[in-house]
Amino acid sequence: MGVKVAVVGAGSTYTPELVEGVVAHEDRLPIDELALFDIDPERLDVVGGVSARILRRQGWEGDLVVTSDRSRALDGASFVVAQIRVGGQEARLSDETLPLAFGCIGQETTGPGGFAKALRTVPVIMELAEETARRGARDAWFVDFTNPVGIVTQALLDEGHRAVGLCNVAITLQRRIAALLDVPWDRLELEHVGLNHLSWLRAVRLDGVDIVPDLLKHHGDGLAEELKLPVQLLRILGVIPSYYLRYYYLQDQLLAEERAPGHRSRAEEVMAIEHDLMAAYRDPALDHKPELLSSRGGAYYSEAAVRLMASLHAGTGDVQVVDLRNAGAIPALPADAVVEIPARIERDGPHPISVAPLAPELLGLVEQAKSYERLAVEAALTGSRTTALKALLANPLVPSYGVAAPLLDAVLEANRRHLPRFYPGDTTGGA
């Protein structure tokens, strides 16, 4: 018996990647209906068109529904995949540039930029999850790929939603290390520990044997270059950090680079890529994922998403890295804290696999970031400026109260039209 999958934010240029994954993994996840929903009719029409051609070329026999009716998309859905961007790329550009004037890193998922994104995003995701609970299939799963994934998933689980967060960092590192060693990826088991976009590979087991020491010794330079971190740092820590740790470990250096004359933000790069992708998608002859999409980011997104849904559907008990309740898996962290670690995927959900305690140099950063994440959730849902200020004060990438207070005013004003909880009754903007 097949299932219905609804994709919220289907006007994203990522969607053809997900659509190809649906067909590639239909032996594990038999989908009867794929519903693509977006609030932008033009983007939905273009992306829906190329998606239909991809599915037709591959001989997929399910029903494709392309709709701007959210209720139609969510009705009866077994899985709802959220990949939204509230405010679009213009808001991302603000997230990456506004903090620079206050001496803070400009990045869309960490620091003040990630905080701004969380304020815009969490209330919208919660509304979607609540409607999924009303309209979706019995025991429907809400799969969040929307950044900041850790904060969004914390909000979802705190409110009791049947949800799991997903990021492509772990699967990308697994595939790249497998390619580096020229071995099949499924021979590698990752001990991926931490929070979303604040994680480390503490062990990489090849046929059960940890090879991190050998990787750092023989391939350290290549790994460091790819992660844009000093190889000496990797060897001192004895772990392989995710790419996003560079914003913490090299904060001064990256801030100087981002503030340098002529620097082009990632948001500007993505805007250019998306312009070209949308032009390509409009070609009625295009019936496959274009190569340009690989430069957009999100490698292995479709594989990670479909593997997760397939395992939840079948209860296969395989191990995947997801965002879920800690439940004692990482000692010293609260049971209800959302972490990003390996979990065994069953029909009733992901079950975290216990790991050894974090070393002090990892634990301290995780504890501070988790405190910030919890405050960010509270601020997003309540519209409390006091809580929002506390969140920025707890953020590891905000240096002081003297920075946090005026920065908060600027962030709220820049995002006013997307923050009705902070500006109740404000009619100057619009969602």
Task: Give the residue numbers marked as catalytic.
Answer: 244
For residue 201, give the DSSP letter: E
Q: Are 169 and 199 in contact (CB under 8 A)?
A: yes
Who contacts 133 (Cβ-Cβ below 8 Å, separation ≥6)? 140, 161, 162
Residues contacting 88, CB < 8 A, separation 6+ = none
Sign of the CA dihedral with 309 first, then 315, 320, and 326 last: positive
Structure-token pair, residue 144 = 């969040």
Lookup: tokens for 383: 């519209």
Evaluate whether 55 touches 286 at the Cβ level (below 8 Å).
no
Is residue 320 helix, strand or coil?
Answer: strand
Angstrom distance (rounded) from CA 96 to CA 158: 28
For helices 401-414 and 385-394, angle between their N-to-C axes, nearest 10 degrees: 130
Tokens (6 digits) for 4: 């219905």
Q: If we measure between CA atoms, which residue out of 44, 33, 50 comes closest to residue 67?
A: 44
Radius of gyration of the chain (CA): 21
For 340, the 3-state DSSP assignment is: strand
Q: Which residue has the tokens 């409390």?
A: 384
How many residues does this entry show for the chain?
Answer: 431
- Contact at 8 Å (CB) between 273 and 296? yes
Dihedral over Cα of 316, 77, 339, 149: its sign: positive
- The C-alpha atoms of residue 78 and residue 296 are separated, in whole angstroms, by 28
Integer Cα distance of 313 and 141 in angstroms: 10
Structure tokens at 180: 């580096």
Contact 417, 428 (CB under 8 A): yes
CA-wise closest residue to 28 among 3, 55, 64: 3
